[in-house]
């Protein structure tokens, strides 16, 4: 008899959790042992339930997928994590890989790819959606005249220019405030600027964002 894989799902949208469970319904070798829309509660349940794999969203309030993965891997390194995302952004992918995920799939994935990802990771391998692999293999041209800001970082700069607070930026982009703070630090470091005024002026001059009205 085949071993039963225990799966735990974390996503701040119940509809997505229900959708994933529907895709897995009828799979006799996969058992969903737990689910939660609140990652801060999920952490404790994951410790208790000891699933083989955790399927987690990345952009969640309070605790994002990056922090959740780090916590899980610190508390129980044997638990494998597969990231779920709407986007295949290189920086986010790298952050999740650094945190310790074994897989990264997009939320528009189909049943066969989802099952293949779970099966591959369960056997000790790694699995990335086609779009994620393409992003990781994409060559980024080196430009010494301007910093390489990711699409997400440019979005944040544009919102900073609109005088959005970290909390407002987090709400607008559906990410945690901690993630916004991390992006801000990286943006100031990459642009070698010290103030918001200096940052905006620099980004306008380098045509990283549109001229402010």
Same domain, 117 and 13: yes
Polymer length in residues for the chain = 213
Instruction: State the residue range of the domain holding 177.
Output: 151-205
Residue 183 lies in a domain: yes
Residue 53: what are its φ and ψ, rounded to 5°? -135, 140
pLDDT reported for residue 204: 82
Look at the chain and report how many structural domains it folds into: 2
Same domain, 131 and 156: no
pLDDT reported for residue 145: 52
Same domain, 77 and 180: no
Spatial separation of the C-alpha atoms in residues 162 and 154, rounded to whole Å: 13
Low-confidence stretches of the chain (pLDDT beneath 70): 1-2, 138-147, 210-213
Q: Is the pTM of this model over 0.85?
A: no
Spatial separation of the C-alpha atoms in residues 193 and 201, rounded to whole Å: 10
Residue 213 lies in a domain: no
CA 104-105-107 angle, to 5 degrees, is 140
Q: Of 137, 170, 189, which residue is a domain's last?
A: 137
């Amino acid at each position: 008899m085949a071993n039963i894989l225990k799966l735990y799902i974390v996503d701040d949208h119940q509809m997505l959790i229900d959708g994933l469970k529907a895709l897995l319904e009828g799979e006799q070798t996969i058992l969903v042992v737990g689910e939660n829309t609140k990652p801060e509660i999920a952490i404790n349940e994951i410790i208790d339930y000891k699933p083989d794999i955790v399927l987690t969203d990345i952009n969640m309030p309070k605790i994002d997928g990056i922090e959740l993965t780090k916590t899980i891997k610190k508390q129980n390194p044997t638990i494998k994590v597969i990231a779920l995302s709407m986007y295949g952004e290189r920086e986010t992918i790298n952050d999740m890989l650094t945190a310790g995920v074994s897989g990264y799939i997009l939320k528009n994935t189909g049943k066969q790819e989802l099952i293949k990802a779970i099966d591959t990771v369960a056997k000790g391998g790694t699995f990335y959606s086609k779009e994620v692999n393409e992003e990781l293999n994409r060559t980024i041209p080196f430009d010494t005249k301007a910093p390489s800001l990711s699409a997400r970082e440019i979005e944040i700069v544009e919102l900073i220019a609109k005088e959005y607070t970290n909390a407002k930026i987090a709400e607008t982009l559906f990410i945690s405030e901690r993630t916004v703070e991390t992006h801000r630090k990286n943006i100031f470091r990459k642009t070698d600027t010290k103030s918001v005024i200096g940052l905006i002026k620099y980004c306008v001059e380098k045509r990283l964002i549109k001229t402010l009205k």
